[in-house]
Structure 1
């Protein structure tokens, strides 16, 4: 069974599904759930856009914390900044996660070829088991 479950969350439908799956696993294992969101902005020259991304992350994570409390699962939340896959894998390593749960959006072949998905990059670099919810 899993003792340290980490969820990477980005407020998409796929990450909501990943949250539901991670929450169910945490309930079954009587384990806490740690949720990270990564704030980033394409507008590197302005701090305002990063501040807005950080605020949106915190808002989403507070909702998950309440949903965890309703399910009687302790949910710790954290907002990170930087490259999403790098920050997620680093958090899993730092927390000693034995399971990392991440959502995956179904995309067209063309969009997959144009840009590697965060989930794929996390899977390629994670040092623990990864569950992909899609």
Structure 2
């Protein structure tokens, strides 16, 4: 069958060797990790799981300047971040063990900062080919339903982003 000039067949291949999965400990993140594991198995790709401790949950330095006992509060802030990172590391090691048992290469990265910015930065620095992440539904409209982190990652990432809901 001859194709008209208006339509041409184009071969397009997406090569995926590294999949980044942001994971915040939620069920949606678990779903995204399951889907990424399916893709990694089929594409023979590696997975990088990233957990970002949201620095917005701890008081910024500007706020601390108005508190009389800044030193102890700054120490508490640092301790809180370390506690959160330690808990995340334990969770990620458990997730990694399951994925490794399937013969898939997997590693994890812990970061601190704005989650969307850190996810995009990690995707670039690790040369990830795909980001697979969960998003909670906020409204009935599909575009409006993406969480703020998922939306920002979708808008700023250098690679394709798959949102799992």
**TM-score normalized with structure 2 length:** 0.73
- 1:77 lines up with 2:108 in the alignment: yes
- The root-mean-square deviation of aligned C-alpha atoms, in Å, is 1.8
- 1:99 lines up with 2:114 in the alignment: no
Aligned to 1:39: 53
- Whichever of the two has the greater Rg, that structure is 2
Deviation of 1:108 after TM superposition, in Å, equals 4.4
In structure 2, list runs of 5 or more residues that go unmatched.
Answer: 1-14, 60-73
CA distance in 2 between counterparts of 1:54 and 1:98 reads 26
Q: What pairs with 1:13-24 in structure 2 (closer than 5 Å)?
A: 13-24=27-38
Q: Which of 147, 153, 157 is residue 126 of structure 1 equivalent to?
A: 157
- 1:48 lines up with 2:79 in the alignment: yes
**TM-score normalized with structure 1 length:** 0.89
In structure 1, list runs of 5 or more residues that go unmatched.
Answer: none
Aligned to 1:65: 96
Deviations 1:60-119 (A, max 9, x none): 11011111112111111110111100000001111111101111012247xxx8xx6110
Deviation of 1:124 after TM superposition, in Å, equals 0.9
Deviation of 1:7 after TM superposition, in Å, equals 0.7
CA distance in 2 between counterparts of 1:11 and 1:106 reads 16
Extract structure 1 runs of 4+ deviating beyond 2 A.
none
